[in-house]
Structure 1
Amino acid sequence: MTPTLRQDTAVTTDDGVRLWAARSGRGTPGTPPVLLCHGGPGLWDMSEDVAAMLDSLTAVVRWDQRGCGRSEPCAGPWTIGRFVADLDTVRRHFALERPILLGHSWGASLALRYALAHPDRVAALIYVSGTGIGPDADWHGAFEANLLARLGEDPERLARWRELPGDSRERAVLQWSAEFEDRERALAHAERMADPWFPINSPCNKALNVEAGRTVGTPALYAACQALDLPVLIVDGERDIRPRSAVDSLEHALPQALRVTLPGAGHLPWVEEPRGFCDAFMTVMRR
C-alpha cells in the first residue's frame, strides 16, 4: 500500500488566531471525510494512530485547538461557542461539506456541541470516551478514586505524581499511564502521548471545564440531544477509569445512537483494541 502524505497547514480564524491543522488520507467521491477533535481541554492532537487507521478509507483532518499545542499562543477567549466556531473554520478551510466528526474525551463534548449547533454540516458523530450530558457529580468522584487506585498500584509512582507540579511533563505521563488497562505497557503508552510535548494550557482547561459544568445536566441540553437528527456512534473502553454509566445520559437522549463498548480497553480504546475500534468506525461508514 502506498503511504499517504500528511499536509500540515495554518488555519486562520475570524479573529486572526492561527490554528495548526493537518490533512491526510485518501478522499474518494461519496466517502465522507473525518474531522477529529482532540481531548483536554488545553491539550493537543494525539490521534496519529487514529488517522493512520482511517487514512486508507477516507480523508482525515486533525487540528490543535485554540492556544494549544502547535497552534498560535493566544489569550482566548476560552468558551465553548468560540471553540465551536473554530471547528467550523477548520471544516470550511478544508472544504469539508459534511464530515464525520470524531471526538475523544473533551473533544467528544466539543464535537457534540458542534453537531447540536450545525447538524446540517455533519454526516455523523462518533463520540469516543466522553462523559455524557449528566452532572459532573455523577462521575467525577468515582473517576478521581479510580485514578488514585491505579496510580497507587505503585506507591512510589503515586508519591512522585503528588509532588510534581500540575503542568509538568513527568506528572502528565504518570497520570496518563492510569488511562490504560494493560498495566505492563501503560507507561510506554503514556510516553507516546507526550511525544511531542507542548505546554498544557491551564487557563483554557479551567475556563472550559467551568462553562461545561454549568451546562451539563440541564433540561435544555437533554432536549437538544433528543432532537438531534444524526447517526451517532458512542465508543467506550470498558476499563476507562471514568464510569461508563455517565454516558448513559447521552445514549438515552439520542434518537439515533449505537453504542459499542470495547473490552480490555481504557480511555484511548484505539490503542488497546485497534481492531474493535476500526470495526466500530466501519459501522458508521456503512450507514
Structure 2
Amino acid sequence: MTPRTDDGVRLWASASGRGAPLVLCHGGPGLWDMFGDVAALLADAATVIRWDQRGCGRSQRCDGPWTTDRSVADLDAVRRHFGLGRTALLGHSWGAQLALAYTLAHPERVSTLVYVSGTGIGPDADWHPAYRENLLARFGETPERLARWRELSDRTALTPAEARERAVLQWSVEYEDRDRALDLAGRAADPWFGVNGDCNKALNQERRRIWGTPALRAACAALDVPVLIVDGAEDIRPRSAVDSLERALPRVRRVTFPGAGHLPWVEDPDGFRAAVASALR
C-alpha cells in the first residue's frame, strides 16, 4: 500500500493482523520499519500498520523537509490512507518521540499511546552523556568490535557494506543478551536500506532546540489520553530520563522489563506482548 502525503511523497506502508488499529512508528531518525516481530506478536490483538518514514527505507526518497511537524503530518497521512478515525500508536526510540508529538497535536485521533524506549521530555543533557558512557562501556566488553566501530566511524565515506557493518556493530550494544547481540543486530539490518543521514542530523538538531521546555511539560500534563510507557531495564539510555514524562502525564502506566535492552520485544517477547495487548484492551 502506498499512502501519499499532502506534498506528494509516497510512503511505504503495510497492514496485518486483526482487531482495533495500531500504527507503529519506527526509530531513527533516518531508519526504517523493523517491526516484523512486533506485528507477529500482536497479530491476534490488533490490526498492525507499519510504515517507513519520509525519505527512509522503502518510502520515496526526497529532500525532506525533516521536521517533527512534517513527520506528524506524514503520520496523519498514513492514518487517513487506512480510513482510521482514531487509532492506537506505538512508537519506539525516536518513534516514541514522534508518536508523543502526534498525540499532543491530535489527541482526539489517538485511543492509546504506547511509548517504548524513549528518552523522556527533558533536554539531551538528561540522558545523552550517560548514554555515550554506557555505549562505550558495553563496547568495551568486546574490544575488537569497539576498535572496528571506531575505525569505521572515523572515515569520511563508507561503502554500503561498511555502513551496514558500522550500524550492526553499534546496534549490537542495544541488547542485554551479549551472546546473541551481534546476530540480533545483523537480523535488524536485513534487509539493509541505508541510514538517511540528512534526516537523522536535522531531526536530532531540532530535538536539541525544542525538547525540554516548560511548554512541552505543560502540554503533556494536559494530555487526556492513556499512555503506557515500556522500558527495558538494561537500555543504555538511562531510564531515569523517562521519569520526566511519567511525572507529567495524568493517565500513565509504566512497565519495565528486567534483562531487556533497547528492544524489549526481542528479549522479552511474552512480557512485551502481554503489556501492549493489555493497553490496547
Pick the TM interval, shorter chain.
over 0.9
Q: Once the 2 structures are TM-superposed, how far is the Cα of residue 285 of structure 1 from its aligned partner?
A: 2.3
In the alignment, which residue of structure 1 is the partner of 2:121?
133
Pairing 1:223-238 to 2, within 5 Å after superposition: 223-238=218-233
Identity %: 70
The more displaced of 18-27 and 122-131 is 18-27
Q: Following the alignment from structure 1 to structure 2, what is the Cα–Cα distance between the partners of residues 58 and 247?
A: 26
Give the Cα separation in 2 of the matches to 1:203 and 1:95: 31
Q: C-alpha distance in 2, partners of 1:202/1:43?
A: 9
Give runs of aligned pairs for residues 169-180 of structure 1, distance below 5 A. 169-180=164-175
Residue range with higher mean Cα deviation, 271-280 or 165-174: 165-174
Distance 2:101 2:212 in 1: 14
Gaps of 5+ in 1: 1-8
Residue in structure 2 matching 1:182, options 174, 177, 196: 177
**What corresponds to 1:11 in structure 2?**
3
Counterpart in the other structure of 1:25: 17
From 37, 48, 70, give the equivalent of 2:25. Answer: 37
Q: Which residue of 2 aligns with 1:48?
A: 36
Query: What is the distance in 2 between the residues matched to 1:285 and 1:141?
Result: 34
- Cα deviation for residue 62 of structure 1 reads 0.3
1:124 aligns with 112
Instruction: Map 1:149-160; keep pairs closer than 5 Å.
Output: 149-160=137-148
Cα distance, 1:283 vs structure 2: 2.2
> Offset of 1:174 from its aligned partner?
0.3
- Identify which of 86, 91, 96 aligns with 2:79: 91
Equivalent position of 1:5 in the other structure: none
Query: 1 CA distance for matches of 2:129 and 2:261?
Result: 18
CA contact (8 A) 2:15 2:50 kept: yes
Q: Distance in 2 between matches of 1:153 and 1:96?
A: 47
Q: Structure 2 CA distance, aligned partners of 1:285 and 1:201?
A: 32
The question of 1:218 aligning with 2:181 is answered no
Q: How far did 1:282 drift?
A: 2.3
How far apart are the structure 2 equivalents of 1:218 and 1:285? 30
**What amino acid sits opposite 2:16 in the alignment?**
S
Task: Output the amino acid matched with 1:284.
Answer: A
Secondary structure in structure 1 of the residue aligned to 2:244: helix
1:71-105 Cα deviation digits (max 9, x unpaired): 01000000100000000000010012111100000
Name the residue aligned to 1:259. 254
SS of the aligned residue for 2:276 comes to helix
1:104 and 2:92 matched: yes
How far the C-alpha of 1:58 sits from its partner, in A, is 1.8
Partner of 1:114: 102
Give the counterpart letter for 1:49 in structure 2.
D
Query: How far apart are the structure 1 equivalents of 2:49 and 2:75?
Result: 11
Larger deviation, residues 149-158 vs 61-70? 149-158
Question: What secondary structure is seen at the aligned counterpart in 2 of 1:91?
Answer: helix
1:29-79: CA deviations, max 9, x gaps?
A: xxx210000000000000100000111122110000000000010000001
- In the TM superposition, 1:264-275 aligns within 5 A as 264-275=259-270
Poorly superposed stretches of 4+, deviation over 4 Å:
none
Contact 2:112 2:280 in 1 (8 A): no
Distance 2:112 2:180 in 1: 33
User: Does the residue aligned with 1:35 lie in a helix, a strand or coil?
Assistant: strand
TM-score w.r.t. structure 1 length?
0.94
| Corresponding residue of 2:136 | 148
Letter in 2 for 1:260: V
AA partner of residue 211 (structure 1): E
Which residue pairs with 2:192 in the alignment? 197
Gaps of at least 5 residues in structure 2 are none
Q: Secondary structure at the match of 2:38?
A: helix
